[in-house]
Structure formats: C-alpha cells, structure tokens
Amino acid sequence: MPSACSNAARGFLPLQVYVLKRPHVDEFLQRMGQLFECVLFTASLAKVRAGFLGSRAPAFIATPAFQYADPVADLLDRWGVFRARLFRESCVFHRGNYVKDLSRLGRELSKVIIVDNSPASYIFHPENAVPVQSWFDDMTDTELLDLIPFFEGLSREDDVYSMLHRLCNR
C-alpha cells in the first residue's frame, strides 16, 4: 500500500513509503470497530520528519520506519474505526522502551484491551494484553482472522480480565 507521506513545507522533500498490510487486517479492523471503541496507540512518531535539505537535496533519503504512523493510519483506517490516535508522545519512556500506559486513556482498565507484538509496550498492564506475533511478510498469516471469534466473545464480557487470563494461561 503506497503512502504519500509528504511534508510540503518549504525545505522538505515528499517521501513515498510502501507498507505491506498484514493479511486480514481490513476484516479485523472492521469487526473490532463494530465491537469496541478502538484507539490507535503506537510508539511510532506521528509524522515524517525529513529535515531541512537546503539546495543540496540527496537522491535518496533513508527515513526510519517509525516516523510515518499518522499517514499510514489514514490509509489503513478507511472506515473510521480509530476514535483516537496516540503516538510516541503519549508513551512513557521506561528502561529504554516506549511503554503504552493504558491509564492515560481515561477508561476503566477492566474494560481495556491492548493488542501488541511487543511485551515491552504493555509492561505496565500485562493483564490487559492480547499478545500477537510480529509480522513481516508472510501473506499466509491468519492470526488477526483467528482472533476475531475471541474478541467477539470478549465483547460480551463485563470485565476483560477473566477471559484474558484464560487466553494467556492455555
């Protein structure tokens, strides 16, 4: 999925970024949006920062992959599933990691779930986590599709802890 992550401000070059979408992410997001209030919470930076280039623009700019979360989220969230977006600025830097402090959401934690591939991201709230495997390019991956029935069941619970405890202690 191409993302035109451009910063049209004077002195900045537009960048073209290509992102592979994890298989079944569209179905997953659509269904989660029907079941839950969804918030994008990422340790990535919201916008690309290409820096001032002056008159000597290089032919190639290596931009770290963590600097384009907002434009990619725009393309990914075609249905308006995310009611809010929180970026690195909303994380807590703790022991060398950016941690997603779920208490900052202002919601009752017994009703909050975090889906993440990095245990360091949810170290403050491991009892709220649904861990997923990191994904790079396996187009046969079905993890998100496989999780939908679990979340459908979880959406009927008053408190997420008992069902999440069962998931993590299989």
The pLDDT value given to residue 76? 85
Taking only the tens place, the pLDDT of each residue in 32-78 is 999 999 999 988 887 655 443 333 333 333 344 445 678 888 888 88
DSSP class of 45:
-
Taking only the tens place, the pLDDT of each residue in 85-100 is 998 889 999 999 999 9
Write the CA distances from 91 to 38, 41, 52, 88, 97, integer angstroms.
17, 9, 27, 5, 9
For residues 146-157, give the mean pLDDT.
96
Domains of the chain: 2-46+65-168 (3.40.50.1000)
Residue 4 pLDDT > 90, yes or no? Answer: no
Model's pTM, two decimal places? 0.77
